[in-house]
C-alpha cells in the first residue's frame, strides 16, 4: 500500500523561499501522480500542482503558477514543491496526495481533491515577519 509523508514546513519571512517534500512508499508508487494541495483555516483545500512519475503529467493550479515549482526525484521516491516569493496568504497546511493514474482518463481530474486516493498528514507553512 502506498503511503505519503510530507516534511519541510516551518515559519518563513515574506519574500523568502521554502521547499516542502513528500516521500512515497509502496511498490506501486510509480503508478501514482502526486499532487500538492493546501488548506488555510476556514478555507477549502486548494489544488496547487500535480506531476506523474515520468513527468508527462504536469499541471499547475492558478495559485501556484509563476512562484511554485513541482519536481520529482524518482530515485528517492520524493516529490518536492519549491515555493518562492512567499506571501502571508500562502500560510496553510500543505498536503501531498496520490492519484492512481491507470484509473484516470484525460486531464479534467487534476484539480479535484476527491480524485486523489491517498493523502499525507500535511505540513504547516507559516509566512510571517
Residue with cell string 477549502: 44
CA dihedral 27, 31, 35, 41 (to 10 degrees): -50
| pLDDT for the residue numbered 25 | 93
Report the sign of the C-alpha dihedral through residues 48, 60, 98, 109, in that order: positive
The grid cell for 105 is 482518463
pLDDT band at 27 (very low <50, low <70, confident <90, very high): confident
Phi, psi of 21 (to 5 degrees): -125, 155
Cα–Cα distance between 46 and 94 in angstroms, integer?
A: 9
Query: Please, which pLDDT band fits residue 102 given cuts at 50, 70 and 90?
Result: confident
- Amino acid 118: pLDDT: 96
Amino acid at each position: 500500500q502506498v503511503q505519503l509523508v510530507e516534511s519541510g514546513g516551518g515559519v518563513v519571512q515574506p519574500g523568502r523561499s521554502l521547499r516542502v517534500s513528500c516521500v512515497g512508499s509502496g511498490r506501486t508508487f510509480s503508478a501514482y501522480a502526486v499532487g500538492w494541495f493546501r488548506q488555510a483555516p476556514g478555507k477549502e483545500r486548494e489544488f496547487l500542482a500535480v506531476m506523474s512519475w515520468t513527468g508527462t503529467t504536469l499541471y499547475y493550479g492558478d495559485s501556484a503558477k509563476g512562484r511554485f515549482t513541482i519536481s520529482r526525484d524518482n530515485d528517492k521516491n520524493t516529490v518536492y514543491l519549491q515555493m518562492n516569493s512567499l506571501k502571508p496568504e500562502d500560510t496553510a497546511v500543505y498536503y501531498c496526495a496520490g492519484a492512481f493514474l491507470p484509473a484516470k482518463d484525460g486531464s479534467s481530474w487534476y484539480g479535484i481533491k476527491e480524485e486523489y486516493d491517498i493523502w499525507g498528514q500535511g505540513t504547516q507553512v507559516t509566512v510571517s515577519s
